[in-house]
C-alpha cells in the first residue's frame, strides 16, 4: 500500500491508449501538429473563454515557473502561502524563471491565505525604490494542506490583488480534485473569479507527464511561447503531450478520476476518524488526508509496509498542535487507488490501534 503521493502511480489506461493511437504517421514538430493545435479550441470551450491560450508542458514546476515568469518582473514580489509548493518544493524554479523575483510567504491555517491577511500585507508595504514591489499572487488549489478555496474566497483574494496592481495565478496541480469538490464549472473557479493564469495539472490525476498553462489574459500570453522554448519545454514530438491532455479531457475522464480519488480519501478519513486517538489536522476536501495519530500506530503502519509521508506544518489551527507521542502523516489517494487498498489499510489501522 502506497499513499505517499498521487505521482507514485503510473498513467491511466485512456491516456496510454491515446499515446499509442497517435503514434503513427508524420506530424509537424514543436507543437505545429494538429493535436496540439486542437488544444486551443478545446480549452476555450472547456473554460468558456474565447481568448485563452494554452501551453502544454511536462511538469508542474515548469507550468508554475513559466506562468510566474510573465507575471512578475525580476525586481518584483510574488505573494504565496508560506508553505506553497512554489515556495518550498521547486528548488527555486520561480526565482530562476523570473530572473530573481522574490517569493514572499503569507501564513494562514489550512495552507490558505485569508483575504484580510493579503489586504493588510499589501496596504502595509512600503513604496520606496529600496523595496521590491508586489506584482503577483499565487494560490494553490488544493492547498498544501489539502484544502479547497471556495469560489468566493478566490474572488475576494483576486479583487484585493487586482486593486493593488497584482496579477493572480492558480497552481492547480490538483485542479480536478478541487473542481470536483466544489462541483462548479472550470470558469467559475478560475477567470470568472479573477484568476489570470492557471497551471492546469494532469500528471497527478492520470496523465503520464502533462500539464497545461492556461492564460486567460491575452497580453500575458504574448511572450510565453518564446520563454517555453528557451526553457526547453517544447517537446519536439508535441503530439504526445497533446494526446495525453486530449485523453484526459475526453468523456470527463479527468473528473471521474478526481471524483474517485476524492472518494477514496473521504473513506480513508471516515475510517480513521473512528479509531480512538486519531484526528484529522484539516477536514478532507480533496484527495489528501492528514491524520494526527499516536506514534505507536504510525510505527505499526510503517512496519506493516504502508508507505506515506511524515508531515509537519505551520498551518495547523490554534489548539490543533501535534502533541508529544503523536505524529502527523499525509495520505494521498490517487485516481488508481482501489477500494480494496483503502479497506486493507483501515483493517490494518484498526488492528494496530
What part of residues 235-274 is at the interface with a copy of itself (CB under 8 A)? 235-237, 239-240
List 116, 120, 165, 229, residue binding a copy of itself (CB under 8 A): 229
Kindly indicate which of the ranges 28-36, 41-49, 250-258, 261-269 contains the residues binding a copy of itself, using the contact rule CB under 8 A: 28-36
**Residue 22 CB partners (closer than 8 Å, separation 6+):** 35, 239, 240, 243
Contact between 9 and a copy of itself by CB under 8 A: the answer reads yes
Q: Which three cell numbers stand for residue 119?
A: 489586504
By CB under 8 A, the residues from 149 to 188 that bind a copy of itself are none
DSSP labels, 173-226: TTHHHHHHHHT--HHHHTGGGT-SEEEEE-GGGT-SS-EEEEESSHHHHTTHHH
Helix and strand numbers (H, E) in the chain are 15, 12
Return the number of the residue (52 or 306) whose C-beta is nearest a copy of itself.
306
List 103, 154, 213, 328, residue binding a copy of itself (CB under 8 A): 103
CA distance 259 to 180: 6
Return the number of the residue (24 or 183) whose C-beta is nearest a copy of itself.
24
Contact between 230 and a copy of itself by CB under 8 A: the answer reads yes
By CB under 8 A, the residues from 189 to 218 that bind a copy of itself are 203-204, 208-209
Q: Give the other-Cβ count within 10 Å of 79's Cβ.
A: 27
Measured from the CB of residue 21, what is the shortest distance to a copy of itself in angstroms? Answer: 10
Return the number of the residue (154 or 234) whose C-beta is nearest a copy of itself.
234
Contact between 27 and a copy of itself by CB under 8 A: the answer reads yes
State the number of binding residues for a copy of itself (CB under 8 A). 72
Task: Please give the helix or strand (H or E) that residue 56 lies within, else none.
Answer: strand 53-57
Return the number of the residue (105 or 283) whose C-beta is nearest a copy of itself.
105
Contact between 348 and a copy of itself by CB under 8 A: the answer reads no
Reduced to 3 states (helix: H, G, I; strand: E, B; else coil), residue 17 is helix
Measured from the CB of residue 3, what is the shortest distance to a copy of itself in angstroms? Answer: 9
List 56, 86, 95, 221, residue binding a copy of itself (CB under 8 A): 95
CA distance 189 to 193: 6
By CB under 8 A, the residues from 117 to 156 that bind a copy of itself are 129-133
Q: Which three cell numbers stand for residue 347?
A: 483493517
Instruction: Please answer whether residues 249 and 214 qualify as being in contact, where contact means their C-beta atoms are separated by less than 8 angstroms.
Output: no
Amino acid at each position: 500500500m502506497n499513499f505517499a503521493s498521487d505521482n507514485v502511480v503510473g498513467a491511466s489506461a485512456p491516456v496510454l491508449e491515446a499515446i499509442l493511437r497517435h503514434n503513427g504517421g508524420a506530424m509537424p514538430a514543436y507543437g505545429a501538429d494538429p493535436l496540439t493545435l486542437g488544444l486551443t479550441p478545446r480549452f476555450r470551450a472547456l473554460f468558456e473563454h474565447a481568448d485563452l491560450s494554452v501551453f502544454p508542458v511536462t511538469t508542474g514546476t515548469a507550468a508554475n515557473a513559466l506562468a510566474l515568469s510573465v507575471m512578475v518582473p525580476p525586481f518584483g514580489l510574488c505573494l504565496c502561502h508560506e508553505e506553497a509548493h512554489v515556495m518550498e518544493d521547486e528548488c527555486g524554479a520561480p526565482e530562476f524563471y523570473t530572473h530573481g523575483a522574490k517569493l514572499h510567504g503569507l501564513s494562514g491555517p489550512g495552507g490558505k491565505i485569508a483575504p484580510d491577511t493579503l489586504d493588510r500585507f499589501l496596504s502595509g508595504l512600503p513604496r520606496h525604490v529600496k523595496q521590491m514591489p508586489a506584482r503577483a499572487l499565487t494560490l494553490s488549489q488544493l492547498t498544501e494542506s489539502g484544502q479547497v478555496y471556495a469560489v468566493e474566497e478566490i474572488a475576494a483574494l483576486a479583487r484585493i490583488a487586482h486593486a493593488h496592481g497584482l496579477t493572480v495565478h492558480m497552481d492547480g496541480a490538483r485542479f480536478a480534485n478541487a473542481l470536483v469538490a466544489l462541483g462548479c464549472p472550470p470558469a467559475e473557479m478560475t477567470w470568472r473569479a479573477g484568476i489570470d493564469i492557471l497551471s492546469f495539472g494532469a500528471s497527478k490525476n492520470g496523465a503520464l507527464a502533462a500539464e497545461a498553462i492556461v492564460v486567460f489574459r491575452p497580453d500575458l500570453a504574448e511572450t510565453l511561447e518564446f520563454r517555453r522554448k528557451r526553457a526547453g519545454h517544447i517537446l519536439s514530438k508535441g503530439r504526445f503531450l497533446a494526446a495525453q491532455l486530449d485523453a484526459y479531457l475526453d468523456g470527463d475522464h479527468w473528473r471521474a478520476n478526481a471524483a474517485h480519488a476524492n472518494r477514496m480519501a473521504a473513506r480513508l478519513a471516515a475510517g480513521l476518524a473512528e479509531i480512538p486517538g486519531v484526528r484529522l489536522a484539516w477536514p478532507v476536501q480533496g484527495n489528501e488526508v492528514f491524520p494526527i495519530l499516536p506514534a505507536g500506530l504510525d510505527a505499526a503502519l510503517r512496519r506493516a509496509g504502508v508507505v506515506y509521508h511524515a508531515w509537519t506544518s505551520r498551518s495547523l489551527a490554534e489548539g490543533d498542535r501535534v502533541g508529544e507521542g503523536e505524529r502527523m502523516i499525509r495520505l494521498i489517494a490517487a485516481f488508481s487507488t482501489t477500494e480494496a487498498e483503502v479497506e486493507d489499510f483501515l483493517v490494518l489501522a484498526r488492528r494496530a490501534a
